[in-house]
Structure 1
Amino acid sequence: MAKGLGKGLDALFTANKEEETVQEVKLKDLRPNPYQPRKIFQPQAIEELKASIQEHGILQPIIVRKSIKGYEIVVGERRYRAAKAAELKTVPVVVRELDEKQMMELAVLENLQREDLTPIEEAAAYQMLMEKLGITQEELAKRLGKSRPHIANHIRLLGLSQPVQELISDGKLTMGHGRALLGLKNKKGLTQLVNRVMKDSLNVRQLEKLVQELNDDVSRETKKKERKDVFIEEQETRLRERFGTTVTIKQSKKKGKIELEFFSKEDLERILDLLQQHD
């Protein structure tokens, strides 16, 4: 893991298992990781893991660190929850000497590598790493081996209201829907708009178009009369996909303008970088 976070963190991932001692500890002495990025644990998945543990035991030890009141889980909270459901008294663990920063990094990276976090959980994990490590989106992207737009687009989701974040976490709205909703200028109409998306099963492109209409403060009837020509709509779509943000082309008889929305200084820098790139 050449691009892992933190000095010495690679060693934590690639530790020689032959040198690690597996020991049994009381389940009641374990405590969840306060930096656990996963907030949603699917009951069915826990139940399936519980059944496996009852038949085969815990095949992979839980990684923990010593704490004042017992042990803190670094990696393996699903195994811990399943073991608890199976009413085990003890569980196998590997104790590692980690400071709080290393525990946070290892927990976050392990979950990111699994690639099954929700977009909101992933966004919160990126935000936490940036805040705790004091690094920028660009630096985080390089260390994780991801693009800056990927990091930026996720973190922007944290600007959504809590109810909308929950809809994305539950899979009722996609990340694309969330990005489109961020472009809504009149936040008072957000709840009504989300309800319409849910009721009419609007896809992302339909939602983007609706947000644009609302932002222009034009009624649906007027919009039908003043509908842009096909070429302009195609170019807006192309630019939207290119820059990952709301793009509006306004045209008059003799001139026109292109508007690109950004939500932070780093988002602006991302767009400027793309503008300077050649296709």
Structure 2
Amino acid sequence: MAARKKGGLGKGIDALISPTVKKEADKEKVVEKVIEKPVEKIVEKIVEVEKPVELYLKIDEIEPNRLQPRKNFDEDALQELSESIKQFGLIQPIVVKKQENYYEIVAGERRWRAARIAGLKEVPVIVKEYNERESMEIAIVENLQREDLNPIEEAQAYRRLIEEFGLKQDEAAQRVSKSRTAVTNAMRLLKLDERVQQMVIDDMISGGHARTLLAIENKEEQYAMAMLVFDNKMSVRETEKLVRNHLKKEEEKKISEKKEDFSQMETIYHQLEERMKSVIGSKVAIHSRNYKKGKIEIEYYSNDELERIIDLIESIKQVG
């Protein structure tokens, strides 16, 4: 194996990314070793790795991302963050992408809002090139990691990934590092009555309360139950018990209604049987399977009576 030459490259990676070099350029040189197996020779080559460029932009040149999944910002929390920014400045840059005549936020809208409240005229940013789906994914992941989204916003974000970008649920789950089950369960909340969804957004009830209420299909009953939970400050466990009792009563009500309907139908069938008996002159029984299908039985007690009934039916047919 050829002896390794000593010199600038032989000083290693630390020398290449020394503070002096960092100040002189926005790109840093990294030694990449490539082993050429046929001759077992180590070749060193210089690869330029681009560093993210941080710069300052006027705060009015920056606008929120329309794809931002988070729609509600806690005003008290924003005020607290703005006070911190006044004292220490905006430590973490905002990630933006260049649009036609402005810069759109990819990640950091909360910091941008707090900086405006703090009265900053300029903010540090890192400009990136992302397409719409990448921007959406980054915004979702950032908020999920910081647990900033309420359950409805989270569900809406997943739905947008799936509907607007043609992803399947498992693909969307993979994009945001969640299990498919977690994404599916989150999106189920969008089946709730819109008024109940708003109660979750307004923090009147929790996501746990909302998931329990999904068992109630009727939207009006669902909303009424949500208001009952809110008014009585019920826990999730108390809500589960409330919903179980409600569903039990509903089932008992359906059974009672079916029995009542069956009793009414029996009365109607009995009346029809009597009418047919008066026409045919023999006992008639109607057997219903599901109120739409069934069979009619006509009794006879001799061959002569059978012939009479057949003649009667044929005569009715001829008249018809």
TM exceeds 0.5? yes
What is residue 89 of structure 1 aligned with on the other side? 121
Q: 2:123 aligns to what SS in structure 1?
A: strand
What is residue 244 of structure 2 aligned with on the other side? 209
The CA RMSD measured in Å over matched residues stands at 2.2
What is residue 253 of structure 2 aligned with on the other side? 218
Amino acid at match of 2:80: E
State how far apart, in whole Å, the 2-side matches of 1:191 and 1:122 are.
Answer: 21
State how far apart, in whole Å, the 1-side matches of 2:218 and 2:64 are.
Answer: 40
Deviations along 1:117-153, whole A, 9 cap, x unmatched? 2111111111111123312223323443433221111
Q: 1:33 aligns to what SS in structure 2?
A: coil
Cα separation, partners in 2 of 1:21 and 1:110, compared to 1, 3 Å: same
State how far apart, in whole Å, the 2-side matches of 1:105 and 1:138 are.
Answer: 14
Cα separation, partners in 2 of 1:214 and 1:165, compared to 1, 3 Å: farther
Amino acid at match of 1:187: K
Asked if 1 retains the 8 angstrom alpha-carbon contact of 2:137 and 2:176, the reply is no
How far does residue 205 in structure 1 lie from its aligned partner after superposition? 1.8
Cα separation, partners in 2 of 1:85 and 1:143, compared to 1, 3 Å: closer
State how far apart, in whole Å, the 1-side matches of 2:239 and 2:180 are.
Answer: 22
Deviations along 1:76-130, whole A, 9 cap, x unmatched? 1011111111121111111111222221221112112222321111111111111
What is residue 185 of structure 1 aligned with on the other side? 217
Q: 1:218 aligns to what SS in structure 2?
A: helix
State how far apart, in whole Å, the 1-side matches of 2:168 and 2:250 are.
Answer: 31
Higher-strand-fraction structure: 2
Note if 1:166 corresponds to 2:198. yes
* Unmatched tracts of structure 2, length 5 or more: 1-48, 257-320
Cα separation, partners in 2 of 1:63 and 1:42, compared to 1, 3 Å: same
Note if 1:154 corresponds to 2:186. yes
Q: 2:253 aligns to what SS in structure 1?
A: coil
Asked if 2 retains the 8 angstrom alpha-carbon contact of 1:120 and 1:158, the reply is yes
Amino acid at match of 2:74: Q
What is the TM-score normalised by the length of structure 2?
0.59
How far does residue 214 in structure 1 lie from its aligned partner after superposition? 4.8
State how far apart, in whole Å, the 2-side matches of 1:42 and 1:100 are.
Answer: 26
Q: How does 1:255-266 map to 2 (within 5 A)?
A: none
How far does residue 18 in structure 1 lie from its aligned partner after superposition? 7.7
Cα separation, partners in 2 of 1:191 and 1:105, compared to 1, 3 Å: closer
Cα separation, partners in 2 of 1:18 and 1:170, compared to 1, 3 Å: farther
How far does residue 171 in structure 1 lie from its aligned partner after superposition? 2.6
Asked if 2 retains the 8 angstrom alpha-carbon contact of 1:64 and 1:93, the reply is yes
Note if 1:20 corresponds to 2:52. yes
Note if 1:56 corresponds to 2:91. no
Note if 1:137 corresponds to 2:169. yes
State how far apart, in whole Å, the 1-side matches of 2:223 and 2:144 are.
Answer: 31
Deviations along 1:144-194, whole A, 9 cap, x unmatched? 343322111110101112221121123321222212222213323233222
What is residue 13 of structure 2 aligned with on the other side? none
Asked if 2 retains the 8 angstrom alpha-carbon contact of 1:176 and 1:204, the reply is no
Match of 2:136 among 101, 104, 108: 104
Amino acid at match of 2:121: K
Deviations along 1:243-262, whole A, 9 cap, x unmatched? xxxxxxxxxxxxxxxxxxxx
Asked if 2 retains the 8 angstrom alpha-carbon contact of 1:177 and 1:207, the reply is no
What is residue 118 of structure 1 aligned with on the other side? 150
Cα separation, partners in 2 of 1:197 and 1:213, compared to 1, 3 Å: farther
State how far apart, in whole Å, the 1-side matches of 2:248 and 2:206 are.
Answer: 21
What is the TM-score normalised by the length of structure 1?
0.67
Amino acid at match of 2:137: E
Large movers: runs of 4+ above 6 Å: none
How far does residue 32 in structure 1 lie from its aligned partner after superposition? 0.3
How far does residue 199 in structure 1 lie from its aligned partner after superposition? 2.4
What is residue 7 of structure 2 aligned with on the other side? none
Larger Rg: 2
How far does residue 206 in structure 1 lie from its aligned partner after superposition? 1.9
